[in-house]
Amino acid sequence: MRPPSVDKLARSLADTGLPHPLLVEAARAAIEAGDPARARAEAEQIRVGLLRPVVNATGVLLHTNLGRAPWPHQDAGGYSNLEFDLSSGKRGSRRVHAGDLLARACGAEAALVLNNCASAVMLALAALGHGCGVAVSRGELVEIGGAFRVPDVMAQSGANLIEVGTTNRTRRADYERAVADPNADLALVLKVHQSNYRIIGFTEDVPAPDLVGIGVPVLADIGSGLLDSRCPWLPGEPPTWLDGEPAARQTLESGVDLVMFSGDKLLGGPQAGIIAGSAELVDRCAAHPLARALRPGGLVLGALQDLAMAYLGRDLDRLPFWQMVNRSVPELRARAEALGVGRPIDTMAVPGGGTLPGIDFPSYGVAMDGDHTQALRRAELPIIARVEDDMTICDLRTVDPAHDHLLTTALGALG
C-alpha cells in the first residue's frame, strides 16, 4: 500500500496547535516507522517536550528540574531603557537598574549581575586573580550540579589554585602561610559555600569574616543567596532551618570584600549570579572582557529589578518563594482537607536546589495509594508529585493556592 502524503497527514493534526513544520516532522516520523496512525502520538510527544508551566507538588521548594524559585518574568514586549539614560538622553548602563537596587538591598557599595553564580565566581577570579595565586581550603574544592568544579573554574579564569588546610580541617594559620609565601604570589582568598554536602565529625574551618584583614581581598561564594539573615521581609523570627546559612548583608558588614551568590535559590528570583561588595572590585569585574560575555539580558534584569524592589519594600506578597516558606502547617492542613480528594497527610518539605542539604521542615499534603505520577503529568497543567511508600504524595507547601482546584480535578479523575 502506498504511504499517505506527509503534508496531508500533517494537516490532519492541525487541531494540536503546533506549527505546521513540527506537524510535518511528526507525520514523517510516523510514516518512516511504518505506522502513520501514530502521527498524533508523535505530535503529542513534541508538544509535551516544549517548555511550559507545571504545578510543583513535590515539596521541594527550589526544584532544579522545575526551574528553582518561582519568579514571574513580566514584560509587555516593547522597548525599555536598558542602556539608555532617560535623564541625559545619552547611552546608559545596564548595570544601574537591578545592580544598584540589589546593592542597596544587601548593603553593598556596588553590585554586578551575571547569568549564574558560576559565572560570577569565574569573572571575579579572572578579573582579580588572573596569573596570581588564590587560596582555597581543600575542604571547599567542591563539585556541584552540572559538573561545576572549583579547580576547573579556577583554571579557566587564569588564576592559580593554592590549596590550604586539609579536607576536614582548615585554620586561619593555613591561609596566613599562603599569604606570606612569596612563591604563591597570592592575590585573593576565596571561601566557597559547600552548598550540596556537609563534612561532619572531626572538622574545623574558618568563616569568611574571620579572614578579614589577612592581607589580600577576601571573596566569599555564599552560594544560595540569602540576602539578610534577619529576614526582615518575614513576620516574626527567621526560620530556624536558616541558622548558620551565610547571608550577603552580614558577610559584607563583617568586612569581606566581595560576595557572589545565586539569584534563583534563597534570593527567590530568576537564574542569575550576583557579585556585590567593594565598588572598586566590582568595577574591575565589570571592566573585564568576560563581563560582556556573561551578562544577562533585559528580561532577567527586569525580573531582578522587580525582585529587589519587593525586598526593599519588605513586601512578602511579592516574594513567592518566601510565601511558600511562611505557610503554616495548619494552613496547609486546611487546604488539604478542602481539596476533598486523596488522604490528608503530614509530609516533610525540603529547600532543594543544592541548598541546605539534610534540612527538612514540616508540611502537609494529600496522598493516593499507588503511583499516579504519570497520569498527573498528563493533566492540562502538568502536576509533578512524588512517590513514597507506594503512595503518590502532593505536598501543598509548593503548590500555589490558586492551583488547588487543579489538584482536586486531577486527583478526582484518578478514581
How many whole angstroms separate alpha carbon 246 and alpha carbon 28? 54
| DSSP-derived secondary structure letter, 269 | S
Residues in the chain: 415
pTM of structure: 0.92
How many whole angstroms separate alpha carbon 162 and alpha carbon 131? 12
How many whole angstroms separate alpha carbon 299 and alpha carbon 306? 11
Burial (CB count within 10 angstroms: exposed 0-12, middle 13-18, buried 19+), residue 220? buried
Set of cell numbers at residue 390: 507506594
Q: Which pLDDT score, from 0 to 100, does residue 333 have? A: 98
Q: Which pLDDT score, from 0 to 100, does residue 277 have? A: 98
Q: What kind of architecture, by CATH, is found in domain 94-318?
A: 3-Layer(aba) Sandwich (3.40)
| φ, ψ at 93 (rounded to 5°) | -125, 135
Cβ contact 337:367 at 8 Å: no
Element (H, E) at 6: helix 6-11
- Comparing CA positions, the residue from 253, 310, 241 lying closest to residue 71 is 310
How far is CA 253 from each of CA 207, 209, 273, 309, rounded to the nearest angstrom? 14, 9, 20, 21
CA dihedral 361, 145, 247, 100 (to 10 degrees): -130
Set of cell numbers at residue 311: 525586598
How many whole angstroms separate alpha carbon 254 and alpha carbon 68? 29
How many whole angstroms separate alpha carbon 205 and alpha carbon 168? 8
Cβ contact 410:68 at 8 Å: no
| DSSP-derived secondary structure letter, 4 | P
3-state secondary structure 348-396: EEEEECCECCCCCEEEEEEEEECCCHHHHHCCCCCEECEEECCEEEEEH
In angstroms and rounded to an integer, the radius of gyration of the C-alpha atoms of the chain is 25
Identify the segments of the chain with pLDDT beneath 70: 1, 145-147, 195-197
| Residue-wise DSSP of 185-241 | -EEEEEEE--TT----SS-B---GGGGTTSSS-EEEEEES-B--TT-TTSSSSPPGG
How far is CA 218 from each of CA 208, 261, 324, rounded to the nearest angstrom? 7, 15, 34
Element (H, E) at 412: helix 404-412
Burial (CB count within 10 angstroms: exposed 0-12, middle 13-18, buried 19+), residue 170? buried
Q: Which pLDDT score, from 0 to 100, does residue 197 have? A: 65
Instruction: Give per-residue pLDDT as tens, 126-174.
Output: 999 999 999 999 998 887 766 678 888 889 999 999 999 998 999 999 9
Cβ contact 165:189 at 8 Å: no
CATH of the structural domain 55-70+327-412, one choice from 3.40.50.450, 3.30.1360.120, 3.90.1150.180, 3.40.50.20: 3.90.1150.180
| DSSP-derived secondary structure letter, 314 | T
Residue 317 DSSP SS3: helix
CA dihedral 354, 360, 366, 369 (to 10 degrees): 80
How many whole angstroms separate alpha carbon 265 and alpha carbon 234? 17
Q: Which pLDDT score, from 0 to 100, does residue 1 have? A: 63
How many whole angstroms separate alpha carbon 125 and alpha carbon 154? 7
Q: Which pLDDT score, from 0 to 100, does residue 354 have? A: 75
Which residues, in sequence order, are bridge partners of residue 321? none
